[in-house]
Amino acid sequence: MPGDSPNRSLGIGGRMAVAGGLVALVAAVAFSLLLGAIGDLRTSASRSLETQQLLLAASRLETLTLQLQSGQRGYVLTGEQSFLRGYEEAARDLEDATFALEMLALGRRDQSSRIRTIGSAVRSYYDTWSQPLVRLADSDLSAAQRRVGTGEGEQRVIRIRRQFDELADAEQALGATREAQARADGREAALVAAVSLGALLLLLAAIVGYFIRVVVVPVRRIDAAAKRRTAGDLTARVAPAGVGEARRLIAAFNEMAAAQERSVAELARRRAEIEAVLDAAVEGIGMTDANGDLVFTNDRMDELWRDLGVAERGSIWNRLAGLAQLTDAAESYAPAFAEIASDPEAVLEDDFEVPALQRSFRGYTAPVHGPRGAVIGRIFSLRETTEERAAERAKEEFLATVSHELRTPLTSIRGYLELVQEGEAGELTAEQARFLGIVDRSARHLHGLVDDLLVVGRTDEGRLDLEAGAVDLADVVAECVESALAAAGEKRIALASDVEPELLVEGDRRRLTQLVTNLVGNAVKFTPVGGKVDVRAHARDGRVVVEVADTGIGIAADEQDHLFERFFRASSATRAQVPGTGLGLAISKAIAEAHDGTISVSSREGEGTTFRVDLRGKASG
Amino acid sequence: MSDGERLPLVLAADDDPLILELVQFRLERSGYRVITATNGDDALRLAREHRPDLAVLDVMMLGLNGYEVTRSLRADEETRDIPVILLTARVQEADVSQGFDAGADDYLTKPFSPQELRARVQAILGRR
């Protein structure tokens, strides 16, 4: 099997060169064989010509000899000079013809002895018989006639002619042999030519077949495998075939195919992993592409949509509309849907309840950005909040219950205390009045905490109920400062206020008073003896801003973010052993936000704190 | 007619006897006659029997609650004009408006000051 194993290092080009060399070699051998055959043929042909020339020359010499004989005989027998012309002609040419025949015999070992014999016989006949006879006749005709009568001359001519016949016979036999040889040579040459040509064609066919097998077949197989891969069959491989570059090409193709199959499998595995993670998520997650078509939903989302009966609605917009219809306020979602549809960057979040199912959900949507930052779609998530809502309600109910339950004993405490303080139970000594004052302050404090507890239970959901009306914050601030004066005086704190008149806001006076009281009370509480508290209130750009600045203990920077969380207490407050529940600021924030306002803090530990409340002003009049 | 019969009669109802006593004490000291009940059913019965000039009713009572007693009083020709002050430990606005819906004239949230109660009672009875 050429090509499979031997000479791997020899490439297709090398093999082609070898094949070309082989063809050239065979062609050269064939050509030389053919040349040899043709040469033989030509030799045969030239031998045949030689024979004819020899026969011709022999024939001419024989003719001359006969002419010589008949001329001399005529002259001798008749004495007429006319016969001598033929004789003289023959005698004149005889030497030339003899020489010519002898020349032809030079290359002919086989006939040369015969020709030499003939030549010398002819010369001898002329020299020893013809010439002497004619001279004799010139002088003595009858003597010459007698010599002729002996028949000796006849005998010699007959012998010479017999030699000529032998020569001719031998030459003809030779010629026949040579002709046969020439024909044989011609056939051989034709055979050699045919065989050479056939061998060359066979060799070429073998070479073509070989290169088809080692080059074309592998290329065709790769082509077929590539087509299968294109059609999606990633397992398509090519069986080893061919040699050199073709073989290596197959190996490279298979390696590439394997690498691609591995990476495709790896991608599929990653994708499956990601999908499994998404499916395990507690949230329903869906994604739309840039056209708004749903391209992915996790199991939870499918489940939620089935539960909510919107799974069959097709597009995300129909599903959202379906969800809206499940709530009590379907039409209120129109602006949000319009925003999602028109603004690719829109981020929206909404808590909604499905009364028919007694389930609550939080929906969320945000843009999904591609690697280059462009919006490539939108994520929609849906999380069931029923349990959280229930827990919140339970907590709120618990806080309300606690608050209510505490109110009954508080009513007795404060009520009877009032009766006693009013002297309804008899005159009080100064000491008793002072002690009861302490009890009264504590009871009021307790009362405040109970109120706070109720409020704080409701701040979570931002459902702080307000009794709305026009409120003059200048009044509120003045009132709060006034009621804090006593406490400030006790600690020799300079409590100053700078308040613009007529600071109208829309809101709940009781809550706003609670807010400012909290802030001023805190400032006094957290400011050491001899410190300073400034309360400022003014209108600015349609807003009303209240600032309460103190020179108190301050709040660490890393705690300021948590300051407004319920039950959070700054470490500085704990260290200074200032009592508190950690509810006041949470309530203050809830009140500010319920009024569509903000509350913020800036503070430096050990130097002081400034709280700032920013509310929307109400146009006066 | 004795002096006592000329004094205005107030019906006080609360299922907490301590608060009931507090109300009774404060109002009697302030010159009212007081009859008391510790549940809604008794309150309604006493109101029909004695036709008080005013009723101070706790909202959270066993049996009929303050709202229900108020509604029953308003439903009865004989008692519909008796003014009602509700005492409530609940301070949410929904509770307050529910009280007014039921027909209450005023409300006080617990803890309340006895003097405040007296002032409210006086305000209602004084305007008659």
Q: What pLDDT, in 10s, does the model give residues A247-265?
A: 888 889 889 989 988 998 9
Return the residue of A nearest to B17 by Cα: A412
Region A63-79 average pLDDT = 86
A47 Cβ neighbours under 8 A, 6+ residues apart: A175, A178, A181, A182
Give me the sign of the Cα torsion angle A346, A349, A352, A357: positive
As a whole number, mean pLDDT of residues B84-106 equals 80
Mean model confidence pLDDT for chain B: 88
> Does the beta-carbon distance from B19 to A410 stay under 8 Å?
no
pLDDT value, residue A550? 93
Minimal Cα distance from B114: which residue of A?
A415
In terms of Cα–Cα distance, which of A244, A250, A257 is closest to A219? A250
Per-residue pLDDT at B41 exceeds 70: yes
To which residue do tokens 């030339």 refer? A96
Q: Please give the pLDDT value at position A166.
A: 87
User: Is residue A418 scored above 90 in pLDDT?
Assistant: yes
Q: Do the chains contact at B19 and A411, CB–CB below 8 Å?
A: yes
Please write the tens of the pLDDT for every residue from A579-621: 777 888 888 988 898 888 999 999 998 889 999 999 988 875 4
Q: What is the pLDDT of residue A460?
A: 60
A356-374 confidence digits (pLDDT tens): 888 999 999 999 998 888 8
pLDDT at B91: 63
**Residue A107 predicted with pLDDT over 70:** yes
Subunit contact A412:B18, Cβ cutoff 8 A: yes
Q: Note the pLDDT of residue A566.
A: 79
Tens of pLDDT, residue by residue over A313-356, are 778 888 888 888 888 888 888 888 888 888 889 999 888 888 88
Helices (H), A212-333: 217-230, 244-280, 299-308, 316-326
Pairwise CA distance, residues B126 & B120, whole Å: 10
**Whole-number Å distance between alpha carbons of A26 and A271:** 64
What are the tens digits of pLDDT across the range A204-241? Answer: 999 899 888 888 888 888 898 889 888 888 888 888 88
**Chain A to chain B Cβ contacts (< 8 Å):** 56
Question: Which token pair is A489?
Answer: 């005086």
Question: What does the pLDDT read at residue A5?
Answer: 47
Instruction: Read off the pLDDT band of A43 (50, 70, 90).
Output: confident
Whether B35 shows a pLDDT value over 80: the answer reads: yes
Rounded CA gap, A487 and A529, in Å?
Answer: 11
Q: Residue A279 and residue A302: Cα distance in Å, rounded?
A: 10
* Beta strand A469-472 pairing with B106-109: unpaired
| B53-88 pLDDT tens trace | 999 999 888 888 899 999 999 999 989 999 999 998
Which residues of B fall within a CB distance of 8 Å from A454? 91
Give A485 or A50, the one with higher predicted confidence: A485
pLDDT band, very low/low/confident/very high, at A462 (cuts 50, 70, 90)? low
- Residue-wise pLDDT tens digits, A485-538: 988 998 999 999 999 998 999 988 888 998 999 999 999 989 999 999 999 999
Segment A421-444 shows an average pLDDT of 91
Report whether A31 contacts A196 (CB < 8 A).
yes
pLDDT of residue A101: 85
CA A465 vs. chain centroid, Å, equals: 61
Interface ipTM: 0.90
Q: What is the pLDDT, as a whole number, of residue A459? A: 65
Chain A residues with beta carbon closer than 8 angstroms to that of B91: 451, 454
Q: What is the pLDDT, as a whole number, of residue B46?
A: 95
Question: Cα separations (Å) of A513 from A388, A486, A551, A591, B94?
Answer: 32, 17, 23, 10, 21
A424 chain-B contacts, CB cut-off 8 A: 25, 29
Centre a 10 Å sphere on the Cβ of residue A50 and count the other Cβ atoms it contains.
Answer: 18
* Mean of per-residue pLDDT scores for chain A: 86
**The pair of three-digit structure tokens given for residue A323, joined into one six-digit string:** 């969800």
Q: Which residues pair with A348 in a beta bridge?
A: A365
Q: How distant is the Cα of A308 from the closest Cα of chain B, in angstroms?
A: 32
pLDDT at position A292, please? 82
